[in-house]
């Protein structure tokens, strides 16, 4: 059995879905926060991460949408990461705590098939 099959089989069942809600222009020195989150997830060997770029959103500062007149696009970004509860917890308390200076996190159960 190849490594991909073994990894996929070990993920079957109930896992945790971590979602981070950010703005695309949110930057921690020189790299967008969402890119640093994905890089950290890969470094910590989490099962997978997906970045979703929004076109419109709302938050405490009002409506967030892209503009052709802006140098930096301020659109909503969602980063989704799925893995075991233990690995997600370690990730939140470790690298994610160092990376995130704004935004919001949610956790939910995810059935992985």
- pLDDT tens readout for residues 32-73: 889 999 999 999 999 989 999 887 776 666 666 665 665 556
Question: CA 76, CA 23: separation in Å to the nearest integer?
Answer: 5
pLDDT at 5: 47
Q: Looking at the predicted structure, is the pLDDT value of residue 76 above 70?
A: yes
Enumerate the β-bridge partners of residue 82: 17, 48
pLDDT at 75: 80
> What's this model's pTM, rounded to 2 decimal places?
0.77
Q: Looking at the predicted structure, is the pLDDT value of residue 3 above 60?
A: no
pLDDT at 6: 43
Q: 3-class DSSP state for residue 90?
A: helix
Extract the tokens encoding 4.
Answer: 């991909």
CA end-to-end span of the chain, whole Å? Answer: 18
């Amino acid at each position: 059995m190849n490594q991909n099959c073994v990894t996929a089989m070990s993920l079957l069942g109930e896992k945790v879905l971590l979602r981070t809600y950010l703005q695309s222009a949110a930057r921690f020195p020189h790299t967008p926060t969402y890119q640093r989150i994905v890089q950290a997830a890969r470094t910590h060997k989490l099962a997978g991460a997906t970045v979703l770029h929004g076109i419109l959103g709302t938050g405490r500062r009002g409506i967030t949408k892209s503009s052709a007149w802006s140098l930096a696009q301020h659109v909503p970004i969602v980063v989704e990461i799925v893995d075991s509860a233990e690995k997600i917890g370690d990730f939140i308390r470790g690298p994610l705590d160092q990376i995130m200076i704004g935004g919001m996190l949610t956790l939910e159960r995810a059935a992985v098939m």
